[in-house]
DNA sequence: TTGTACGCGTTATCAG
DNA sequence: CTGATAACGCGTACAA
């Protein structure tokens, strides 16, 4: 058994509540008394039992982070995590990890009802529908939450996302200016809202440039390691393969590059490839990958800050959409058609 | 206020304790009574308050994971994390995150005394001394803990590590067989024990091959992003630069490759580079990086399993050292001297 | 300024 | 088989 407030109470001959007050900085405690208590605290090596404190205070100073099962394989997620972790540390909160419930969201409800966290951050991207289901469920509970890395159409749910449309538009503009006509899109329908927005920007850009949309130039790359390789291979089997590829994200783009290189193609001369996210890996592959830079860490920090505000004020702050920045690298650089 | 056991008690007209027993599967409860209680539970949407339960049970079903501040930038750490996360989920435990205390380990003591976790996993690698200090402190507490990814010389502290010596030896053997005479080592003294072991294997291998050790062929690459670039540059300034480089880990090796390529060198013709860890990135860079494969995920899982055993039995299981496997890739492949 | 008493939600013990 | 009672460790109106 650890040393508790009761032990101190006995040791200094004061009541438990006096000790408690002294420790919690109440003003109605004699300076001398406080001194005595603090000394005993030091001497006995007392540390408040957070479980008991939480039970009493009805909060835990902990934030739950819910993430898709394979998050630790995605550098995008890790970028978000970094931000959340940093912000949490700064504000004296700890993080409790929960993998997103594959099917039943019952687990989530349990977490809310059990009050083991003061709020939750849902890191976006998950199998289609799962995130939506989770959101729906959480709306029925009182635990505040924010969604990170994924726009949410449901009103009143604060989310932190990047400007998918503008990001992909800048990419498309880059390709169109280079004279590309056959531009493909490697999709991730699993990541519903993000994909929808990026796909839409892709289509709109084509339309604006009066280039007909071709369904054969859209191939799926699901959220499994190296899925982009198979997707790209399929794309290259087309009799008139694309000259440029917009990948859903950098992981897919990197995979796509590998697949193209393995086919003996030159990047960007034969085919240009671009991604989304500006993850660390996009800088170390050959060729380096042109991408849409997204402030992952900052978004994570903002998600935390937003949640904190919800916890403190009880109100839902506005969602935030971060603007992006085109980063042109070798994978698209030298192509001039 | 959430619905509590008391509400159910009222609703079904049974005492609180009977309800509790029914819910916890005690055998001395009439089947019918249990049925009634379970139904009410369902109807009222009851979920046990874990904080209260933990206070009573004196445990939290949570494991603390302590990691160095920049862990989310290291794929090695992420590999460990994956394993820990998976194992925790499988065993119904949740993870609470703590960044390793930079200086004062007082925070760690607080965590132990406050009993907010049942045990802790210290993910190795941190600024020199910090991990040692933490271990020393934790030994004075009763919270069980294991160290992951870092051998520990202190007896009675269970750790999960990879076989550094054998790993680097296999790498050195590979280089020596190719005829390399000038082999360099990019060190990371911060990661004390791992580095010591790898460095030692490097030196021993040289000695065995009767190649004199040269201090100029050892350069530091601290635990900061892209530190390997500067280290490699320094190495290449040597009038007689090495023909092969053993990097502390894959991140450093990848950096080293970049630096060499930027200098216009060919890999592996001009200089061969090998790393340690077999992280995902080592497979997607150009050239792909020869490395020592380490079962990161499995190590994480084992760390968790070991800790669980400690929690359940109160005894300290043996440490485990995982054997490694040489993975030869393009960065060393074609060199034949 | 200090102490008393109670409650947070749960579980364990012991009578009945 | 069921229920009253205490206890886990802490915080806070209220009384003294």
pLDDT digits (tens, 9 = 90+) for B43-100: 998 888 888 998 888 888 899 999 988 888 999 999 999 999 999 989 989 999 998 8
The helix-helix angle for A5-12 and A16-23 (nearest 10°) equals: 110
Partner A contacted by B57 (CB < 8 A):
no
What is the DSSP code (8-state) at residue B24? T
Higher-scoring residue by pLDDT: B293, B57: B293
Nucleotides of C under 7 A from a protein CB: 1-5, 7-13
**Exposed/middle/buried for residue A240 (C-beta within 10 Å: 0-12, 13-18, 19+):** exposed
**In this structure, are residues A60 and A117 in contact, taking their beta carbons and an 8 Å threshold?**
yes
Question: CA A57 → C1' D10, Å?
Answer: 9
> Strand B272-274 vs strand B119-123: parallel, antiparallel, or unpaired?
unpaired
Q: With DSSP H G I counted as helix, E B as strand and the rest as coil, what are the percentages for chain B, rounded to 5?
A: 45, 15, 40
Beta carbons of A72 and B81 less than 8 Å apart? yes
Q: Test A95 with B99 for CB contact under 8 angstroms.
A: no
Q: Residues in chain A, how many?
A: 337
Q: How far apart are the first and last CA of chain A?
A: 75
Q: Angle, nearest 10°, between helix axes B31-44 and B16-23?
A: 90
Q: Give residue B124's pLDDT.
A: 79
A28 touches strand C (CB under 7 A): yes
Where does the pLDDT of residue B335 fall: very low under 50, low under 70, confident under 90, or very high at 90 and above? very low
State whether residue A59 sits within 8 Å of chain B by CB: no
pLDDT band at B3; cut points 50, 70, 90: confident
3-state secondary structure of B262: helix
Greater model confidence, A140 or B158? B158
* A286 interfacial to chain B (CB closer than 8 Å): yes
Q: What is the pLDDT of residue A108?
A: 85
Reply yes or no on whether the pLDDT at B106 is more than 80.
Answer: no
The yes-or-no verdict on residue B125 having pLDDT over 80 is no
With a pLDDT cut of 90, the percent of chain B lying above it is: 64
Determine the pLDDT at residue A279. 96
* DSSP per residue, A290-319: BEEE--HHHHHHHHHHHHHHHHHH-S-PPP
DSSP letters spanning A35-87:
HHHHHHHHHHT----HHHHHHHHT--SEEEEEE-TTGGG-HHHHHHHHHHHHH
Estimate the crossing angle of helix B106-113 against helix B130-139, to 10 degrees: 30
Q: What is the pLDDT of residue A146?
A: 96
B246 SS3 class: strand
pLDDT of residue B126: 63
Mean pLDDT (chain B) is 91
Asked if residue A245 lies in contact with residue A232, where contact means CB atoms within 8 angstroms, the answer is yes
Distance of residue A105 Cα from the nearest chain B Cα, in angstroms: 14
Q: What pLDDT is attached to residue A102?
A: 62
How far apart, in whole angstroms, are the C-alpha atoms of residue B131 and residue A289? Answer: 37
- The pair of three-digit structure tokens given for residue A331, joined into one six-digit string: 């994978």
The shortest C-alpha distance from B48 to chain A (Å) reads 6
Token pair recorded at residue B158: 């269970």
Contacts of residue A239, defined as CB under 8 A and 6 or more positions apart, other chains included, come to none
User: What is chain B's length?
Assistant: 337
Alpha carbon of B77: minimum distance to chain A alpha carbons (Å) = 10
Residue stretches of chain A with pLDDT short of 50: 335-337
| pLDDT value, residue A312 | 87
> Kindly report the CA angle at A105 between A101 and A109, in degrees rounded to 5?
120
Nearest-Cα residue of chain B relative to residue A57:
B51
Of A78, A96, A225, the CB nearest to B78: A78
pLDDT of residue A336: 46
Nearest to A2 among B50, B96, B115 (CB): B115
pLDDT digits (tens, 9 = 90+) for B172-229: 999 999 999 999 999 999 898 999 999 999 999 999 999 999 999 999 999 888 999 9
CA–CA gap between residue B284 and residue B274 (Å, rounded): 14
| CA nearest to A58 within chain B | B51
Q: What is the pLDDT of residue A221?
A: 96
Task: State the pLDDT at residue B26.
Answer: 86
pLDDT score, position A128? 62
Q: Do A113 and B62 touch (CB under 8 A)?
A: no
- Cα–Cα distances in Å, from A86 out to A148, B67, B97, B259? 15, 13, 11, 30
| Cβ-count burial B216-249 (b if 16+ within 10 Å, e if not) | ebbbebbbeebbbbbbbbebbeeeebbbbbbbbb
A139-142: Cβ within 8 A, 24+ apart: A140/A109, A141/A109, A141/A112, A141/A113, A142/A112
Query: Is residue B265 very low, low, confident or very high in pLDDT (cuts 50, 70, 90)?
Result: very high
Per-residue pLDDT at B198: 98
The candidate with the shortest Cα–Cα distance to B286, out of A217, A288, A272, A74, is A288
- Give chain D positions with protein CB within 7 A: 1-13
Q: Identify the pLDDT of residue A165.
A: 98
Mutation for testing the B interface, residue in A60, A94, A96, A256 having most B CBs under 10 Å: A94
Check residue A99 and give its pLDDT. 86
CA dihedral angle for residue B56, residue B61, residue B66, residue B69, rounded to 10 degrees: -100
> pTM of the prediction?
0.91
């Amino acid at each position: 058994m650890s040393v508790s407030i009761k032990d101190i109470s006995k040791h200094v001959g004061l009541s438990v509540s006096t000790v408690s007050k002294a420790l919690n900085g109440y003003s109605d405690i004699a300076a001398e008394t406080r001194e005595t208590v603090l000394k005993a605290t030091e001497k006995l090596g007392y540390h408040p039992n957070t479980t008991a404190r939480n039970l009493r205070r009805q909060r835990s100073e902990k934030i739950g982070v819910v993430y898709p099962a394979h998050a630790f394989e995605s550098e995008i997620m890790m970028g978000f995590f970094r931000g959340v972790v940093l912000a949490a540390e700064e504000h004296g909160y700890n993080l409790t990890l929960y993998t997103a419930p594959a099917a039943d969201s019952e687990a989530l409800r349990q977490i809310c009802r059990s009050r083991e966290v003061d709020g939750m951050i849902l890191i976006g991207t998950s199998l289609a529908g799962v995130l939506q289901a989770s959101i729906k469920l959480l709306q029925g509970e009182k635990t505040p939450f924010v969604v990170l890395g994924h726009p949410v159409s449901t009103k009143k749910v604060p989310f932190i996302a990047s400007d998918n449309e503008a990001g992909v538009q800048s990419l498309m503009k880059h390709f169109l200016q280079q004279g590309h006509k056959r531009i493909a899109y490697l999709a991730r329908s699993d990541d519903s809202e993000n994909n929808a927005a990026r796909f839409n920007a892709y289509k709109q850009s084509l339309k604006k440039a009066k280039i007909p949309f071709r369904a054969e130039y859209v191939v799926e790359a699901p959220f499994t390691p190296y899925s982009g390789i198979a997707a790209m291979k399929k794309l290259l089997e087309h009799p008139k393969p694309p000259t440029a590829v917009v990948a859903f994200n950098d992981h897919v783009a990197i995979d796509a590059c590998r697949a193209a290189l393995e086919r003996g193609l030159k990047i960007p001369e034969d085919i240009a490839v671009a991604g989304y996210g500006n993850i660390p890996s996009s800088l170390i592959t050959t060729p380096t990958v042109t991408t849409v830079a997204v402030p992952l860490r900052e978004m994570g920090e903002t998600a935390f800050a937003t949640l904190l505000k919800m916890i403190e004020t009880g109100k839902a702050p506005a969602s935030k959409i971060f603007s992006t920045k085109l980063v042109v690298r070798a994978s698209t650089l030298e192509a001039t058609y």
